[in-house]
Structure formats: structure tokens, C-alpha cells
Amino acid sequence: MTAPLRVAITGAAGQIGYSLLFRVASGEMLGPDQPVILQLLELPVALDALKGVAMEVTDCGFPLVRDIICTDDQATAFKDADIVLCVGSKPRGPGQLRSDLIKANGPIFTGQGQAIDANASADCKVLVVGNPCNTNCLIAMSQAKRIPKENWHAMTRLDQNRAVGQLSNAAGVSAGDVKNVFVWGNHSPTMVPDITHGTIGGEAIADVVDGGWLADSFDQTVRTRGKAIIAARGKSSAASAANAAIDHVHDWFLGTGHNDYVSMAVCSDGSYGVPEGLIFSFPCKITGRGTYEIVQGIEVSGEVRERMQKTIDELVSEREAVADLL
Amino acid sequence: MTAPLRVAITGAAGQIGYSLLFRVASGEMLGPDQPVILQLLELPVALDALKGVAMEVTDCGFPLVRDIICTDDQATAFKDADIVLCVGSKPRGPGQLRSDLIKANGPIFTGQGQAIDANASADCKVLVVGNPCNTNCLIAMSQAKRIPKENWHAMTRLDQNRAVGQLSNAAGVSAGDVKNVFVWGNHSPTMVPDITHGTIGGEAIADVVDGGWLADSFDQTVRTRGKAIIAARGKSSAASAANAAIDHVHDWFLGTGHNDYVSMAVCSDGSYGVPEGLIFSFPCKITGRGTYEIVQGIEVSGEVRERMQKTIDELVSEREAVADLL
């Protein structure tokens, strides 16, 4: 029998956590034959609610769930974890600037980075979902002495999936027919969705989808989708964010099933002129179970290059804002 | 390519709906090769929120989703539906009696029953999740002139899954090792969990699990689990209810994968002395895609028989309370 993997989830009783846990438990993230032990972390104030959520997981009778641990102690949550999903973060308050949000989250992620590095499996894979996810991930990674830099990712898969959703609707095809669309940079409005190498049913996207819509609407829709969801639902994206986390980890461990790229915000090695060490969304190929490489040799248009510089500049300034934590 | 199935969901923007939609869309209910068209019904007041939920489904880029329809019109929602999940119902108000709740929901389910019968596929399968689900299902079924009685089910799978979860925890085994535990009767505190024919790892449950716990705690825990979840979470069961709906329909269409029973509240044919026409939870075997039979020849102990009578009596009195609607 396959040994269980320990999956730690922070902020597990929150909205995204509630959409995430049950799909991890059912096998959607790691496949139908991979048992899991859920190690759930919450703030003390949310521990009762978390226990209620864990009761509901038990009430599903999922064959893959071997154990559920509910705790407000980081060392317990991260103990021997094979995968950590950092979902919890301080949300942005009314009128709060992004720079203030970054500083408010900094200490959370230094603490979590240290606790993960001290307690998790030596090859633990970490996905930071809680925003601002790129810089939160940078902060956590900076605390690691033991866990390799390649193992610290932030999530831009939601942005990629939003782009795919828009393109498949525009073309009137299944989302599964849209390939190799990805996002450069920061999970923020400076992100750069890149469709220049993407295909729909094997054809170049610009040959299939209306050029006017692509120019006027597509990019803006993807970059501001989070706000549009809040306006419609009255709540921020939860199930779609959870789904993107599942997609990210699924592909990281099990591959994409095609010769495709996926967007992963990973530690820059200097590819495409992105400063080394930034957590930056690149097109990535999965090379094995839990390993990836940044796709090389992609031609970057002048316009994309210009916009990439803006998202690089933003990430550099975010890094400067938290320099004392790194 | 497999033709898509049309899945209508009522109350789609509610808590259970939000936990349900994304798992239906990802293929967990009908398998990874079955495309779906989601036909989502909400009250006019919740239509904006529903559109936000549909945006999030789009943002997942699910390859199996062929279309998403959001509507407050029953005829549109149920048009050509192959499966209807009746999730929406009026919740019980503070201090409201069960009998008042039944009367408050009655007109909703006469309307939905008529609209389903008039608009859905002739072989449409209906699962009523909204409580009181047995009698709501009875009311809806009573309106049908075209769709066979066998196609109208109410959900007791959550009760079965809760029983399995408790037993697997008590035995320290995977929930997948617990077989043929089921529930008789009404989805209410009169339900009768029956473990007398169940097994854990192939052995009789009474030989594996502590008899004192079985006698003192198991049954009570299962029957009052809904209240315990509310006490812990501050909200009623949503993800676990959605999961049970997925399990019910999955097994109804794709089988149990074993020679196992599952709890389904179906139209009684008089088996086990249950009055004909009541929607009653029996142990059921899946005999084909969308067909089932009530398992016959199960030995019913004197104690179980006595308790079955109470849940029968309750369902009979519920039927009397809504006699004018049938």
C-alpha cells in the first residue's frame, strides 16, 4: 500500500480552506491511490471551527484520509509534512495599501518559514496561496536553511486558469482545448498573461479569437477578475482559488499529462532577465514527481517585455519593503 | 466524444451548492470522461451571487464543463435535465416545529416536481437534498405524470457516511474498509443506522468494535451529528452534505465498485413492511447505470424492527400533514 503523504494546510477553517480540504481528501490533488494525513493549522480563535470542519471531513468517509490533526501549533502542523499549503494570511483591510499589507504579513511568513524548515520533511514542497503570495513566499523561503529553494512556490495558477476560462468562452470550446497560456510575474494587477505561444485546438490563439476582444477586454478581465468576483459574490474567490492550488500541486507531483507549460511562481534563476531570487511566475514544465524547470527559449515580444519589467519592478520594491525580514 | 449530461442544481448559490458545484464540474460525480452542462437555479434575490459562483466555475478551466446556465426560472433550469439535485429548501426557523417546516416547504416541492416533470428528460434522475428531504421528495414525486417513481430519491447517504466515519475511527481503519453499513427510514433523528450486516475488513462489526461504545455512543452520535456540526462550526453541514450528494449520484450512475449496499431513500414497494409509496431509506444495490434495487432478505433484528416502526410512523404522519398537496 502507498505510504500516506502528510499535507499541512494553514488557515484551514477559512473560506479557501473549506473549499480545499475536501478535494484534497477525496484524492483530486494527489490522485485516487495516494492516502493523506491532513495536518490543519488555525489561529486559536478558529480552532473550534476547524474541529467542526474536521468532523465534516470524517463524515465524508473518504477512504484516502488516514488521520486528521487540528492544531494551533506550527511545529505540530508542519511535523514531517511532505506538502504545505500556506493558505492563511492577513487579508487587506479597507483602504490599506499593498505595501502595508506586505508588512503586516511579513512576520507571519518568517515564522511559518522557520517552522516549516525546522519541522517538515527535508524535501517538503511548499505552495503559498495567502496574499501577497509572491513576497510571502520569498520571506518564508529566506528562512530556510534545509529545504531547497526550488521547493518554495507561490500560486499564479488561478490567474492562468482565469485566462483559460476567458479564452475558452471566447472561442466556444472546452477549457481543455486551450494550451500553454501562462502568466509572468507577480500575482497582482501587474501580472502579464501571455498568450503569444498558446494554442486553441492546436491553432495559434490570435488566429482563433477575435483580435479586438483580445486587445480590449481579455487582459483587463484576467488582471481584475478578483475584484469582479467580489463585486458579484460579495465574497472573494474561494473555490476557484482552492481549485488552482489543487491544480498546482497536482501538476507538480503528477505532471500535466501533456507536453504543456503551467504557471508557477518560483525562485528566479535569472531566466528572462528576472533578478535572481525573486519569486516570479514563469512558464514551467514538470520534469518528475515534485520537480520542474523554467521553460527556456520562449520568445518575448517587445510589449510583453515592457510589461514584464513593471511586474519585476513591483516585486523588487516589495522585496525592498521587507528587506529587514530576509 | 461522450455527449454532455445536463445537471440542474437548485439553491446553487447556497452553502451546500458552493461545495457541490465545483466537484460536479471537476468530474467527481459522473467520472472524468463525462462532460456536463450546469443548469443552476436560484431565487431572484440570489441571482447575482449565483453569477459570481458561475464566474468562479469558469475560472477553474474545468475541461468537462460545456456550459453554465444561471436562472431564476424553473422551466429553464430543468429543461432537458438528466439529473436534478434539489438542494434548495426553506431552512428551519428558530423554534419552528418539524411539522411547520414540512408545510413551509410543501409548495416549493409541488412547484419543482411539476416543473421537473414538464421540462426535464423523460428519464431524469432526481435527488432531493433539501430538508425535510424524504417528504419533500414525496411531494415532488407526487406531481410527476411522466418521470417514473423510481427516479425520485432523497438523500440519506450523509447519515451512512457519518456512520462509516465513526466506525472507521473507532476501529482505527480506513473508511474504505467499512462495508454495508446503511440507514433505514427518514433523514431525521428517527433514522435507524443498521450495522448488523456491516463488516470492517471483512469481519462483523460487532467483532471488531467495542460493544460498549456501539451501544452507548455510536447510534446517538450518528443521529445527532448535524447538531454537533452546527455547535462546532457555527454553520450547518455543507461540504459533507455536498459530498454525500456526489456519492449518491456517483453510485447511482457508476455503481459502487463492489458488491455493496448503499443507503438511498427511494419509493417504497412494500419491502420490509414499509408502506408503499413512502420515500424511505433502504439498503440498495445498483443494477445498472441509473437503476437500483432494494436489497432483499436482510434479517431485521427485533430492536431494529421496533425502531423502524417509529421512523415509518413519522413518515406516515409527515405524509398526512401534506396530504392536500399529494
A59 touches chain B (CB under 8 A): yes
The DSSP symbol for A218 reads I
Length, in residues, of chain A: 326
Rg (CA), chain B: 19
Evaluate the CA torsion angle A130, B243, B16, A174 in order and state its sign. Answer: positive
Q: What is the pLDDT of residues A119-145, one digit of tens each?
A: 999 999 999 999 999 999 999 999 999
CB contact under 8 A, B232 and A178: no
Phi, psi dihedrals of residue B125, rounded to the nearest 5°: -100, 130
Which ranges of B66-204 would DSSP assign to H, the alpha helix?
A: 74-78, 98-119, 133-142, 157-171
Q: What is the pLDDT of residues B238-275, one digit of tens each?
A: 999 999 999 999 999 999 877 789 999 999 999 999 99
Residues of chain B with pLDDT > 90: what percent?
91
Contacts of A225 in chain B (CB under 8 A): 55, 59
Q: Which pLDDT score is estimated for B275? A: 98
Q: What is the pLDDT of residues B266-325, one digit of tens each?
A: 999 999 999 999 999 999 999 999 999 999 999 999 999 999 999 999 999 999 999 999
For residue B100, what are the contacts with CB-CB under 8 A and spacing of at least 6? none
- B232 CB-contact burial (10 Å; exposed 0-12 / middle 13-18 / buried 19+): middle
CB contact under 8 A, A23 and B19: no
**For the whole model, what pTM was predicted?**
0.96
Q: Is the pLDDT of residue A257 over 80?
A: no
Q: Is the pLDDT of residue A258 over 80?
A: no
Closest partner residue to B22 among A60, A62, A243, by Cβ?
A: A243
The DSSP symbol for B271 reads G
Q: Is the pLDDT of residue B51 over 80?
A: yes
Q: Which pLDDT score is estimated for A1? A: 72
B181 touches chain A (CB under 8 A): no
> What is the mean pLDDT of the segment spanning B25-36?
97
Active site residues of A: 187
Number of neighbours of residue B203 by Cβ within 10 angstroms = 12
Contacts of A160 in chain B (CB under 8 A): 61
Q: Side-chain half-sphere of B273: how many Cα atoms within 13 Å?
A: 13
Helix (H, G, I), strand (E, B) or coil at B62: coil
Residues of chain B with pLDDT > 70: what percent?
100
B187 within 8 A of B134, measured Cβ to Cβ: yes
Contacts of B170 in chain A (CB under 8 A): none
Contact residues, A window 222-241, toward B, CB-based 8 Å cutoff: 225, 228-229, 231-235, 237-240
- State how far the Cα of A154 lies from the Cα of B128, in Å rounded to an integer: 40
- State how far the Cα of B116 lies from the Cα of B102, in Å rounded to an integer: 20
DSSP, residue by residue, B169-231:
HHHTS-GGGEES-EEEB-SSTT-EEE-TT-EETTEEHHHHS-HHHIIIIIHHHHHTHHHHHHH
Pairing of strands B182-184, B125-128: unpaired
C-alpha cell recorded at residue B36? 456536463
> What is the mean pLDDT of the segment spanning A106-131?
97
Q: What is the biggest distance separating any 2 CA atoms in chain A, rounded to whole angstroms?
A: 54
Interface with B, mutate which of A38, A47, A59 (most B CBs under 10 A): A59
Amino acid in the structure at residue B325: L
* Nearest residue of B to residue A35, measured between CA atoms: B174
Q: What is the pLDDT of residues B115-151, one digit of tens each?
A: 999 999 999 999 999 999 999 999 999 999 999 999 9
* pLDDT level of residue B93 (50, 70, 90 thresholds): confident
Q: Which pLDDT score is estimated for B216? A: 87
CB contact under 8 A, A53 and B169: no
C-alpha cell recorded at residue A313? 519592478
Q: Which pLDDT score is estimated for A308? A: 97
- State how far the Cα of A205 lies from the Cα of A202, in Å rounded to an integer: 9
Q: Is the pLDDT of residue B75 over 90?
A: yes
The DSSP symbol for A234 reads S
Q: Which pLDDT score is estimated for A45? A: 95
Contact residues, B window 39-58, toward A, CB-based 8 Å cutoff: 48-49, 51-53, 55-58
Q: Closest approach of chain A CAs to the CA of B129, in angstroms?
A: 15
Question: For the ranges A75-79, A176-180, B257-261, which has the lowest average pLDDT?
Answer: B257-261
- State how far the Cα of A45 lies from the Cα of A53, in Å rounded to an integer: 14
Q: Which domains does chain A have, with CATH numbers?
A: 5-154 (3.40.50.720), 157-321 (3.90.110.10)
Q: Closest approach of chain B CAs to the CA of A57, in angstroms?
A: 7
- State how far the Cα of B250 lies from the Cα of B31, in Å rounded to an integer: 8
- State how far the Cα of A43 lies from the Cα of B183, in Å rounded to an integer: 37
Q: Which pLDDT score is estimated for A252? A: 97
CB contact under 8 A, B52 and A19: no
Contacts of A52 in chain B (CB under 8 A): 229, 231-235
Question: For the ranges A163-167, A211-215, A315-319, B63-67, which has the lowest average pLDDT?
Answer: A211-215
CB contact under 8 A, B55 and A26: no
CB contact under 8 A, B239 and A51: no
DSSP, residue by residue, B191-208:
-EEE-TT-EETTEEHHHH
Q: Name which of A100, A140, A144, A94 is nearest A122 in CA terms.
A: A144
A124 within 8 A of A54, measured Cβ to Cβ: no
B162 touches chain A (CB under 8 A): yes
Length, in residues, of chain B: 326
A11 within 8 A of A41, measured Cβ to Cβ: yes
Contacts of B164 in chain A (CB under 8 A): 61
User: Number of residue pairs across A and B with CB atoms under 8 Å?
Assistant: 150
